Amino acid sequence: MKEVESFVKLIPLGSIFLIFCSSLKLLVYYNFFGINIEEFMGIHEYINYFIDDLFYYITMLGFTILFVYLRQTKWAKKFTKKYKGKGLSIGILGFVCAFILTILKAVFEERMSLRLLYLEVAIHNLFGIIYVTAFYFGVKLNFNIGLVILFLLYVRIDASSEAYAKTENFYGYKYIIEFKDKSYETSDSLRYLGKTEKFIFLYDNKTKESKIIPNNDLIAMKVIRLKIKKNENIPTGKG
């Protein structure tokens, strides 16, 4: 169980890396709209965004630890000796088919936000192909390096997908933001990007301009969930 033990020892360092990933994702997302978010938020606020992505990180790490652990069990070793050729060949074929299908979905998808999400799934399948193939031929790969690459790719793709979702005429929520002297209501032309402790960020989809509004005089902020038709798909971007 050396691989599991070495993986567990890296968890404290991994936690710092995951916070870095969430911060990087935030920077990529706002940079898409020409906003240097680091100028408008405190360091302590980055932790909140890390918590938003925590479920994905826990899922990824959980599956990785489980895979590494199961690979070291006596049952797995017996299975490998008995069914190595057939079992792993089926595994590789499954990952290849899934990879091709997601690539085709990405190619024929019109919305860039969803196209990027399909690409993200395709990359996961590609990593599966690489690791199962390496296991098949008895080649040892460093799992930790693979995870680092996978997380960095996820950050770039997921942030871009959320950003593109804001520019498409496709969203699941309506925001009504009320100040003392003025109010804003999101629509196809005006999108809500997010907020920090002191600022609210909006995007004008017609003029392609970002609005950075101090929330000193903020009175109320309402979020209304819109009814979406059954044949419509909503990107995972927030807002």
CATH number of the domain where residue 220 is located: 2.30.30
Which of 2-11, 14-23, 53-62, 114-123 is predicted least confidently? Answer: 2-11
- Kindly state whether residues 132 and 219 are assigned to the same domain: no
29 and 140 within one domain: yes
End-to-end, the C-alpha distance of the chain in Å comes to 44
Is the pLDDT at 204 greater than 90, yes or no?
yes
Q: Are residues 98 and 182 in the same domain?
A: no
Q: For residue 81, give its domain range.
A: 2-167
Q: How far apart are CA 70 and CA 79, in angstroms?
A: 11
Q: What is the pLDDT of residue 8?
A: 60
| Residue 53 domain flag | yes
- Do 92 and 108 reside in the same domain of the chain? yes
Beta pairing partners, 221: 177
Residue that the structure tokens 């998808």 belong to: 109
Residues 6+ apart with CB under 8 A from 68: 3, 4, 7, 143
pLDDT confidence tier of residue 149, bands split at 50, 70 and 90: confident
Residue 239 maps to a domain: no
- Quick one: pLDDT band at residue 226, thresholds 50, 70, 90? confident
Mean pLDDT to the nearest integer, 111-128 = 90
- Quote the pLDDT of residue 239: 45
pLDDT mean over 179-198: 90
CA–CA distance, 205 with 49 (Å, rounded to integer)? 25
